A and B are shown apart, each in its own frame.
Chain A
Amino acid sequence: MADSAEEIAKHKKAYWIVGAFLFAGTVITVAVARLEFFDLGAPGISAMDVIMGLLIATVKSTLVALIFMHLNHEKGLIYKILVFTCYFAFGMIVLMVYSLLDPIHAAF
């Protein structure tokens, strides 16, 4: 984390650029979902659209986290906490979905 005000001021331009990227990302997400040109899988909403949309959302949120929330030069401890958290959140989502769509669904 930059400490002096002068150092931070250098980042000003970067913040505006990231803001512009986020705007652009939002436009692309809508385009992917709504324009037929982007309908990669099937007409209307398809799995491909969803994957694309979520990928863009992930990129956007990564930008927010890295630049706006200064994770790009944060201390290692914070990373550790967040990695754990993401591991557990991810585990929760994956295991719940896995149990819903279990390939071997025994008939008890």
Chain B
Amino acid sequence: MEIPFEVKARKDTGLWNAKLGIWLFLASEVMLFGGLFSSYIFLRLGIEPGVDTPWPTDVQKVPLGFLNTLVLIASSVFVVFAWLAIKEGKWKKFQAWMAAVLFCAFFFLAVKGYEYYNKFTHYGMVLVDHSVVEGVVLDNTDKIRFEGKSVTIDVTKGSVEFLKWVDKDQRLFFDVEVDGKLVSISNVASWASSMRSKVNKEIAADRSARWAAKRKNPDAAPLKPKKITRSYTLVSKGDPFRLSAKDSRVSAYSDKEMSFVDGNKVDGKLLGDVIKFEVHEVDLQMIPKAQQDQALVWKLINDSAVKAGWDDARDEELKKMEKYYLEDRGLPVPDKQMRSRRVNVHDLHAVGKMKDGHTGDKPGHDAHKESKNKGHDVGAEVEVGEHHQIVIEVPREQKRFLSNHGPAYGTYYAIYFTMTGLHGLHVIGGIVVLGYFMFFGKALFLKNPEHMANRVEVAGLFWHFVDLVWIFLFPIMYLF
């Protein structure tokens, strides 16, 4: 059985099936990205001044985004020519154009991957007074370090959160007393899940027995529930084990014990919870100008030269604003503009202490090199590698939020990663389809060139749409 209008267009609609199908699919894609764009607008306009962090507009490397835009546009042009080639019946030419398209697509993904990598290795920390430092966490200190000797698990849940945070290079052996017998365990997760079903069975059996007794003799005093052990304490057989746990998974900790969100309780001793942070940028836009001198971040940095440099940079910017608004236009300066945006103290510091001639190739160095210093050219160009690092040690209670610049860092990052990630998935999908046509399309081409041309056209339409989405993504994510 043949489906009609698979290759030739239907007269009254003028369309063959796949073309109609792809346009319907693109319509749903318009709604998909429409939903994302409206989320973007909703989140951005919904920012409450003074409560939410302002929308960052200068965190992307524009040249990379610019390059990627051009690459995608080029690939879009190439796809048209690939389709023309196959329409003309030239298979080799088609393959050549298609290769160019795929090259562009892979190039695009590579640049995207590079950008993602940089984001994931760059950190930001909001302190309790909302001053923000950006830079790099040193020595894994974003996690709470703990040395455990034993762990208590509620087996009815069967959840073993602590296991996720045990340092990877350790082998764990535990002893636990079950029904008066000492049992050795090497695989905690499977032990916990087997205990879960065992204990739950015991509880159920006990219940059934009590209910049966009650049914038999409703007037008698109800039986007491049997005492069933639900929590077991696993004692480490060998050396104590080291944990470094993410804050959000720890519900409470003290010098002696640490509890996880699922109720796992580890006993031992706290190794450290101070965050070591190499500061690249200081951002005080959440703090009113009058209080910026007392910001917590200055106490932590404890270096008057840095603060002076930062103040100078801010004042210079304020002067610019005052000139723009007050002098040139006679308007009051908006409060938003009165606060300084992020200033790259790394560079300030370097200017101040350049003479020291300190050289070093420390962690975080690269991240700095790529970090942006845009619009606030305070010092002259600084030779990389000729500066001190500003490393602060932040007690955990002074931290409000700490994360790398991944999706969790803020709503901008969240929507950036979601939108570009989904767009990237579309690129990958396009690569798969176009690559399939390029390498395996010849059989169909020889059999029915028109059918093959239709397929290429349809895939091309999809590819143009991917390009079209990026044309909007570039300005809203990179520029504004």
Contact = CB atoms under 8 A, between A and B. Distances in A.
Direct interface between A and B, CB < 8 A = yes
B45 to A, nearest CB: 6
A50 interface: yes
A40 interface: no
Interface in A2-35: 5, 8-9, 11-12, 15-16, 18-19, 22-23, 26, 29-30, 33-34
**Secondary structure of the A contact surface, majority rule:** helix
Interface residues of B, number: 50
A86 B468 contact: no
A64 B468 CA distance: 7
Interface stretch (B28-36, B176-184, B389-397, B413-421): B28-36
Contacts of A69: 461, 464-465
A5 B450 CA distance: 11
Given A19-B73, A78-B15, A101 B41 contact: no
B84 interface: yes
B73 A42 contact: no
Contacts of B116: none
A1 to B, nearest CB: 8
A81 B479 contact: no
B464 A85 contact: no
Interface string B6-49: 00000001110000100110010011001101100110011000
B81 interface: yes
Interface stretch (B196-204, B242-250, B364-372, B469-477): B469-477
Interface residues of A, number: 48
B422 interface: no
A81 B15 CA distance: 13
A29 B173 CA distance: 61
Contact of B77 (A9, A16, A61, A78): A16
A89 B32 CA distance: 9
Nearest to B28: A85
Interface of B: 13-15, 20, 23-24, 27, 30-31, 34-35, 37-38, 41-42, 45-46, 57, 62, 66, 69-70, 73-74, 76-77, 79-81, 84, 87-89, 320-321, 324, 375, 460-461, 464-465, 467-468, 471-472, 474-476, 479-480
27 contacts: A12-B84, A16-B77, A22-B76, A26-B73, A29-B475, A30-B62, A30-B479, A33-B480, A50-B475, A54-B476, A61-B468, A61-B471, A64-B76, A64-B464, A68-B467, A75-B13, A75-B15, A77-B15, A78-B20, A82-B23, A82-B27, A85-B27, A89-B34, A92-B35, A96-B41, A100-B46, A101-B45
